């Protein structure tokens, strides 16, 4: 696919590197030191904490890059100290994060209660690593029915697209250049650090050259307030459904129905993994990982089924299409990190697996490094076409 805009890594190279995550824990245990894989524990944590709201239009890329350079200069310290703003006042800015809520702004999402041990961030390096595989996996078959619906939405002067749990903005980089017309993307994430990268690296034009603009809103997308999607043309999310509960998915479906807007929800884990060479421990680790995904009421591999039921209950037409990662020798870095996260989550769920899993992981990583391993990690994309409120 032709590269249409800068990725977070491109921006990071221009401004001196992606800052380290503030407060990242370093441990020696296998389960805790593994980089989280597709839908594992850290991604569940990523849907939990956050506060406030950020609304910010994105202008010229040079200005955003300059801000990234300024933000990145002290980001490695892990400090969460207020810093002086341009007017000399204090702004509570997490290092590397960009602006926070202005006085009087109201969050559009409610926040879950979180504990002091909850990790506050995805690693942007992980999101960057998986972005090409995500882009290759997303279903192109769902785009035509989506385009038809968007073209026929009543009373729209341009598209207002809400991207829930946007991370570093990979969904927008994939989808915006494939849609015609002016687009305004509202990027939701609880992590201001990721919102900053998403804004900096957002596309500037749609498929027909029309302008793409962006604003960011900080908060947890798990529980939308009733008015959060008013005026929305489309709701998108990537790798989000499987870290929601049944109640949260039902709330999302109701919000989309109330707004009369379609939802394109991609890359939900399906609970199935296939290797080019089988191992007796494959199924046991897969089952433990899937149980780990279902902790604390999260839906994990059951999420797409629940979402289909929830959207259909509100009268939406629902289409589901497979979107597997197909990882081979060209994806050694991603495959290795995914393996560590997949096995690590399984061991966290079933500690009795630890000794056998260590040997298993070593063998799989050796095959990966040698270019001998192919893995298919199954996901599903879902398109829900709600009844437009204007009556088409």
What average pLDDT does this structure show over 106-130? 55
Q: Is the pLDDT of residue 93 over 70?
A: no
More confident residue, 98 or 10: 10
User: So what's the pLDDT on residue 222?
Assistant: 63
| List of long-range contacts for 113-118, beta carbons under 8 Å, 24+ apart | 114/48, 114/49, 118/45, 118/48, 118/49
What average pLDDT does this structure show over 350-369? 96
CB distance 289 to 38 below 8 Å: no
User: So what's the pLDDT on residue 80?
Assistant: 25
CB distance 261 to 234 below 8 Å: yes
Q: Is the pLDDT of residue 267 over 80?
A: yes
Task: Kindly indicate the confidence band of residue 123, based on its pLDDT and cuts at 50, 70 and 90.
Answer: confident
User: So what's the pLDDT on residue 52?
Assistant: 28
Task: Kindly indicate the confidence band of residue 388, based on its pLDDT and cuts at 50, 70 and 90.
Answer: confident
CB distance 191 to 50 below 8 Å: yes
- Residue 259 burial (10 A CB sphere; 0-12, 13-18, 19+): buried
**Residue 317, strand partner residues:** 385
Highest mean pLDDT among 101-115, 207-221, 280-294: 280-294
Give the CA count within 13 Å in the CB-facing half-sphere of 360. Answer: 24
CB distance 357 to 343 below 8 Å: yes
Averaged pLDDT score across all residues of the chain: 74
pLDDT in tens, 126-143: 889 999 999 999 999 999
Task: Kindly indicate the confidence band of residue 35, based on its pLDDT and cuts at 50, 70 and 90.
Answer: very low
* Percentage of the chain modeled with pLDDT above 90: 57
pLDDT in tens, 302-312: 999 999 999 99
What average pLDDT does this structure show over 1-19? 39
Model-wide pTM > 0.85:
no
What whole-number distance in Å separates Cα of residue 364 and Cα of residue 63?
Answer: 44
User: So what's the pLDDT on residue 219?
Assistant: 77
CB distance 228 to 255 below 8 Å: yes
More confident residue, 315 or 2: 315
Find the range with the poorest average confidence among 36-40, 161-165, 240-244, 287-291.
36-40
- What spatial distance separates the first Cα and last Cα of the chain, rounded to whole Å? 34
DSSP state of 238: E
Give the CA count within 13 Å in the CB-facing half-sphere of 90. Answer: 4
The continuous run of DSSP H or E covering 335 comes out as helix 332-349
CB distance 162 to 232 below 8 Å: yes
Structure-token match 């959060």, residue found: 228
Give the CA count within 13 Å in the CB-facing half-sphere of 63. Answer: 6
Residue among 321, 287, 316 nearest 387 (CA): 316
Q: Count other C-beta atoms under 10 Å from residue 209's C-beta.
A: 8
The continuous run of DSSP H or E covering 337 comes out as helix 332-349
pLDDT in tens, 190-242: 888 899 999 999 999 999 999 999 999 987 766 677 678 888 999 999 999 99
Pairing of strands 263-275, 183-189: unpaired
Q: Is the pLDDT of residue 378 over 90?
A: yes
List, in order, residues 6 or more apart from 181 with CB less than 8 Å away. 150, 158, 159, 206, 208, 210
Q: Count other C-beta atoms under 10 Å from residue 263's C-beta.
A: 28
What whole-number distance in Å separates Cα of residue 178 and Cα of residue 171?
Answer: 11
Residue among 292, 280, 267, 290 nearest 380 (CA): 267
DSSP state of 80: -
DSSP state of 16: T
What whole-number distance in Å separates Cα of residue 161 and Cα of residue 203?
Answer: 13
């Amino acid at each position: 696919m032709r590269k249409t805009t800068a990725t977070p890594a491109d921006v990071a190279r221009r401004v001196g590197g992606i800052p380290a995550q503030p407060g990242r824990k370093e441990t020696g245990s296998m389960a805790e030191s593994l980089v989280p894989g597709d839908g594992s524990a850290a991604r569940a944590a990523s849907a939990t904490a956050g506060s406030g709201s950020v609304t910010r239009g994105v202008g010229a890329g040079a200005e955003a890059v300059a801000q990234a350079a300024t933000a990145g200069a002290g980001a490695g310290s892990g400090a969460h100290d207020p810093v002086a703003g341009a007017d000399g006042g204090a702004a509570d800015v997490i290092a590397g994060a960009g602006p926070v809520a202005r006085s009087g702004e109201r969050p559009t999402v409610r926040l879950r209660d979180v504990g002091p041990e909850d990790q506050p961030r995805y690693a942007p390096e992980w999101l960057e690593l998986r972005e090409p595989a995500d882009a290759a996996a997303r279903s192109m078959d769902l785009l035509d029915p989506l385009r038809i619906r968007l073209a026929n939405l009543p009373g729209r002067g341009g598209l207002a697209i809400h991207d829930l749990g946007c991370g570093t903005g990979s969904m927008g980089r994939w989808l915006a250049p494939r849609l015609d017309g002016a687009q305004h993307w509202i990027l939701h994430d609880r992590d201001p650090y990721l919102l900053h990268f998403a804004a900096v690296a957002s596309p500037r034009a749609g498929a027909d050259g029309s302008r793409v603009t962006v604003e960011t809103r900080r908060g947890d997308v798990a529980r939308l307030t009733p008015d959060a999607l008013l005026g929305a043309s489309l709701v998108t999310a990537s790798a989000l459904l499987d870290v929601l509960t049944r109640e949260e998915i039902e709330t999302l479906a109701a919000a989309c129905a109330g707004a009369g807007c379609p939802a394109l929800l991609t890359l939900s884990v399906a609970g199935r993994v296939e290797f080019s060479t089988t191992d007796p421990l494959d199924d046991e680790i897969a089952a433990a990982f899937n149980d780990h995904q279902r902790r604390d009421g999260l839906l994990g591999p059951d999420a797409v089924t629940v979402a289909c039921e929830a959207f259909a209950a509100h009268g939406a037409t629902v289409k589901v299409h497979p979107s597997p990662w197909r990882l081979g020798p060209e994806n050694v870095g991603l495959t290795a990190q995914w393996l560590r996260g997949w096995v690590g989550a399984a061991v966290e769920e079933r500690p009795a697996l630890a000794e056998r899993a260590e040997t298993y992981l070593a063998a799989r990583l050796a095959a990966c490094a040698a270019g001998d391993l192919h893995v298919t990690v199954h996901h599903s994309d879902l398109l829900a076409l709600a009844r437009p409120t204007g009556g088409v």
